[in-house]
A = this chain, B = another copy of it.
Amino acid sequence: MRHRLKDVAERAGVSVKTVSNVVNGYVHVRPDTRARVEEAIAELNYRPNLSARHLRKGRTGVIALAVPELDIPYFAELARYVVTAAADYGWTVLIDQTGGRREQERVVASGITDHLIDGLIFSPLALTAEDLAGLDGTPMVLLGERVDHGPADRVVIDNVTAAREITDHLIQLGHRRIAAIGSQRTDEGASARLRLAGYAEALRAAGLTYDEALVAPAPAWHRADGAAAMRGLLTTGVRPDAVFCFNDTLALGALRALHEAGLRVPEDVAVVGFDDIEDGRFSIPTLSTVAPDKERIAKLAVELLANRLDGDRAAPAKELKAPHHLELRESTQTSLGPVS
């Protein structure tokens, strides 16, 4: 049922290579020969065997995207943009889930890459620079700041500035006891460290004191962690009048906890997040947040990979910055009319 070049060649009465030439659009083929071959291809419903082609060419046309969890909205949205951007280069995207576990991330970084894919776009959580150091082969683009000074290309956003800006927004609105949710031990969670730094910067610039009691850690950045952290903050006595959550799912969890505590958002407590996931545009209240340009991040990552594949593989690693902006919604200011 599956046909090969040879079958097509026999049917069309030409050599195998001629069929290959037709398939690959080689110019020096007589129109009538080309027609005969194309007819045979259509009749047999011939499709090239990609494994064989790739074996021969050394390229597979497949890139991988490795993310911690697919059902974290931020990564799902990012994945969507990467798939779209990769399509422009004719690439198929293979998606890997690492679960954020260092072991699995190492497997992905070294193992999966072998010969099956041409390159890798990688959003690591737990991986260290040493894990990456020994890697030969496959070109890689890292997303986020987890691995500083790594040997690979990278796309980042300016986390510190973004965090400072959104915190500033809260300060401008008159809030003074601004909590932060999402800090993590420093050996993981580079994003957490940078966002915390931006938060602290903004407080300092405004002459507010940085209060440890207002900074709540979150083991992961899921809704449940945000809700738990918020409940924790509410029971400590020093009730905050605003909360900066280090991502949107934490913020959605915090909204939930505030709701359960009978507090109004933004009147009693203002809430901001980070990531601009779709949920935050429809939550009650809608969520003010930092909006990284996810489409641009994906596009830049794919471009970096393309350059690396076609160009000098030994060139020094590049770091590109993607833009972001603030999306101000109901969770920091009262009613804005219907959402769409």
Residues of chain A touching chain B, judged by Cβ–Cβ distance below 8 Å, are 1-2, 45, 47-52, 54-55, 60, 62, 69-71, 73, 76-77, 79-80, 83-84, 92-97, 110-112, 114-116, 134, 136-137, 223-224, 227-228, 231, 252-253, 255-257, 259-260, 278-279, 281-284, 337-340
Contacts and interface: CB of A to CB of B under 8 A. Distances in A.
Contacts of A51: 51-52, 54-55, 60, 115-116
Contacts of A279: 252, 279
B76 A97 contact: no
Contacts of A284: 255-256, 259, 283-284
B282 A252 contact: yes
Contacts of A259: 284
17 contacts: A2-B136, A45-B136, A50-B116, A52-B55, A52-B115, A70-B76, A70-B77, A71-B278, A79-B95, A83-B95, A92-B94, A92-B96, A94-B94, A227-B338, A255-B282, A283-B284, A284-B284
A266 B224 CA distance: 23
A1 B114 CA distance: 12
A61 B71 CA distance: 24
Contacts of A80: 69-71, 97
A49 B97 CA distance: 22
Nearest to A97: B83
A45 B138 CA distance: 13
Contacts of A96: 83, 92
A110 B42 CA distance: 13
B256 A115 contact: no
Nearest to A279: B279
A337 B97 CA distance: 33
A96 B227 CA distance: 33
Nearest to A224: B340
A215 to B, nearest CB: 22
A49 B45 contact: no
A112 B92 contact: yes
A95 B97 contact: no
A69 B70 CA distance: 12
Contacts of A114: 47-50
A225 to B, nearest CB: 11
Contacts of A281: 223
B52 A227 contact: no
Given A1-B136, A223-B278, A282-B252, A115 B339 contact: no
Given A2-B136, A60-B51, A116 B97 contact: no
A47 B114 CA distance: 6
Given A48-B114, A70-B83, A224-B340, 13 more contacts: A47-B111, A51-B52, A70-B70, A71-B278, A73-B73, A83-B95, A92-B96, A92-B112, A93-B95, A94-B95, A256-B283, A256-B284, A283-B283
A330 to B, nearest CB: 10
